[in-house]
Amino acid sequence: GLSRIGHRELTSTRHYNYPSNGGEGVRVYLLDTGINQNHYDFEDRVSVGPMLAKESRWGDIDNHGTPVAGIIAGAKYGIAKKAQIISIQVLGDKNTGDTETIIEALNWVSEEQQKHPGMSWAQKRGRRSVKANCGVCNSMSLAIPTSHLVDMTIERLAQQNITIVAAAGNGDPYGKSLDACIGSPASARLSITVGSSDSTDKAVSYSNYGRCVTLFAPGIDIISTSAENRTGYCIKSGTSMAAPFVTGVAANILGQYGPLPPQKLREIIIQLATPGVIKNIHDPDTPNRLLYASMAQEVPTAEGAITAATLPFFGNAAIAVIVAVFSQSFI
């Protein structure tokens, strides 16, 4: 996964260039099954927020949130290796959750930004060594049928510079792919919705499709941190493993350039993506783009190239939040 998004061409080279301070100052709120915060790869960069699931348990019983977090910010296999993660448990046993819990979690993040715009959760917990934040990311591990209430919440969060990264979804229970537009938050207008590709750049058969998909990222046989112990790793697949690659790249962009409006961040990720390389896309409305992780000094946009010199400095009080929604199945 890491090596593929680091190259324009499909290559056997297993090499990923990353900024040593990638994601520094960026907060990732992970809405999932929980995280094994004691894994050595997280280097004391994980804090535990509210446990909102109906059947909350300490840790990560289902071993899902931990590998997601490892893709985003793990020291060995992560994209943004200095990002800070706050776990919000919204899924109980067997990855079950509901719309009300998702909205409650999103509202909690929104309120955190309103109450403490210049201070991170870890800083409030006494970790004063954390750099003043320049962005925030949130991750959830489920999808729901299209919800007007969820979409309205996402629109409201966008007004606070909160960017939504959503998994396209893994199809129906029989493995048949579906239109990504039938589920929230993938269907939301401002979401960055991520499909899954394999090691040969083929769209995975169960990865949802359609105009609501923004781009693809690797999602098959991804190695990441395991919840089972402090040093272990596991192999996972699905759109819920593809989406955190996008979150990590977004965190690196925010860490380098500072807070950006959701529309701008989405545009940058689209413009950086490698076009036309995904095979087996059967739906003509599905964009053919593969995530690219270059941290070049110039970032192309419709208004011209963005550079560190041309970006405005928003200061510590400005917040850019990425809500990465990693779906497994509809409930």
Active site residues: 32, 64, 240
Neighbours of 302 (CB within 10 A): 7
Q: Does residue 331 lie in a domain region? A: no
Contact 15, 71 (CB under 8 A): no
Backbone dihedral angles phi then psi of residue 243, each to the nearest 5 degrees:
-60, -40
Q: Does residue 330 lie in a domain region? A: no
Q: pLDDT of 242-299, one tens digit each?
A: 999 999 999 999 888 888 888 899 999 999 999 999 999 989 999 999 999 976 444 5
Q: Does residue 81 lie in a domain region? A: yes
- Percentage of the chain beyond pLDDT 90 is 46
Q: What is the CATH classification number for the domain harbouring 304?
A: 3.40.50.200
Rounded Cα–Cα distance for residues 158 and 124 (Å): 24
What is the pairing mode between strands 162-167 and 135-140? unpaired
Q: How many folded domains does the chain comprise?
A: 1
CA distances from 258 to 132, 177, 296, 316 (A): 11, 37, 15, 9
Q: Which domain holds residue 175?
A: 2-325
Q: Which residue has the higher pLDDT, 191 or 221?
A: 221
Q: Does residue 71 lie in a domain region? A: yes
Q: Hey, which of 38-47, 94-103, 124-133, 151-160 has the most confident mean pLDDT?
A: 38-47
Residue 172 is which amino acid?
A: D
3-class DSSP state of 13: coil
Q: Does residue 16 lie in a domain region? A: yes
Contact 237, 297 (CB under 8 A): no
Q: Does residue 17 lie in a domain region? A: yes
Backbone dihedral angles phi then psi of residue 330, each to the nearest 5 degrees:
-85, 145
